[in-house]
Amino acid sequence: MDLVTLDDIRAAAADLAPTVLRTPLLRAPWDDGLWLKPESLQPVGSFKLRGATHAVARLDEAGRGRGVVTHSSGNHGQALAYAARAAGVPCTVVVPEGAPEVKIARMRAFGATVLLVPPAQRLAVAQRIVAESGAVLVPPFDDRRIIAGQGTVGTEIVDDLPDVDVVLVPVGGGGLASGVATALRALRPSTAVIGVEPELAADARESLAAGRVVPWDVELTYRTCADGLRTNLSELTLAHLRDRLDGIVTVTEEEIRAAAGRLINGARLVVEPSGAVATAARLFRSGELPAGRTVAVVTGGNVDPALLADLVTVP
């Protein structure tokens, strides 16, 4: 399988420069050995803007005219809508029912056409629209352009903390972890890149152990509050993770919520549960992790206001 390279990631970085924020590394106030990479500060509130912007930048003229389509629980849909609007490209997002209203509202605010469907039908509906309209499918993670764009998170980490020992990355579909692991493997192979996922959506851990994609039904993955991590790996992302990821750990719902509360109260970052899982691993699974200077990627902050108010009260 044709895996993404460091050259691909560097090419993506050039596409991102006009649109995507180069997020800083922030020292965690409660842990001298932990830095936070707050992708929640992006204009769309998540790292997804990186891959989406790169994918739109690589469209040919015919593709730009026909528009783009994706399926997303929220963050990738927002990112693609934002990137498409900036480029003057029509955008349609197929959203699973039950996605946070705040994310749906922002997709529409960025000019996307939003279609709500049962969770199990999201990909099929997106593919049908592509077949009927000729629009270009831009998947949330199962795409080399997306992986290369997300990999710029990894190159920035190495630029800002060259002696980083451990990078903790949330895993849903695996695009971010694939890109970050690719960058770190090329630039600093001694750094351990560890994936983190909810116990209630641990398909990546099972897939890596089995050596093949082991999909979990939506009835299982939709139990987790980390709505951005409910998707399964693809063959493409599994190939990257098998080759380049150094390990994977899981965290509980209680640990995710506690980590979100710590980030909100302690680091003054607005985060959604999906964005807190890497920090949860550092807080509650340190015995399963390599030692040393650690970066936790805070992937997003598009949280429902009612849930945010609840998380603020978590010690």
Reported as a single tens digit per residue, the pLDDT across 230-263 is: 989 999 999 999 999 999 999 999 999 999 999 9
- Check if 103 is active-site: no
Query: What confidence score (pLDDT) does residue 303 get?
Result: 86
Catalytic residue, candidates 40, 73, 178, 234 = 73
Q: Is the pLDDT of residue 314 over 70?
A: no
pLDDT at residue number 193: 98
pLDDT at 128 over 70: yes
State the residue for tokens 């197929």.
94
pLDDT value at 41 more than 90: yes
Confidence of residue 315 (pLDDT cuts 50, 70, 90): low
pTM of structure: 0.94
Average pLDDT estimate for 273-280: 97
pLDDT digits (tens, 9 = 90+) for 197-211: 999 999 999 999 999
**Catalytic annotation on 73?**
yes
CA separation, residue 20 to residues 48, 221, 272, 281 (Å): 10, 30, 20, 27
Say how far apart CA 40 and CA 271 lie, in whole Å.
7
Confidence check: pLDDT of 30 > 70: yes
Give the pLDDT of residue 73: 76
Q: Is the pLDDT of residue 162 over 90?
A: yes
Nearest to 289 by CA among 34, 63, 70, 108: 34
Q: Tell me: pLDDT of 313 over 80.
A: no
Rounded CA separation 168/106 (Å):
28
Question: What percent of the chain has pLDDT above 70?
Answer: 99
User: What is the C-alpha to C-alpha distance for residues 266 and 275, in angstroms, rounded to an integer?
Assistant: 15
The reported pLDDT for the residue numbered 215 is 95
Give me the catalytic one of 48, 103, 178, 234: 48
- Predicted local distance difference test score (pLDDT) of residue 1: 83
Per-residue pLDDT averaged across 60-86, rounded?
93
On whether the CB atoms of residues 262 and 204 are closer than 8 A, the answer is no
pLDDT at residue 102, as a whole number: 81
pLDDT at 177: 98
Task: Tell me the angle at which helices 152-160 and 175-187 cross, rounded to the nearest 10 degrees.
Answer: 40
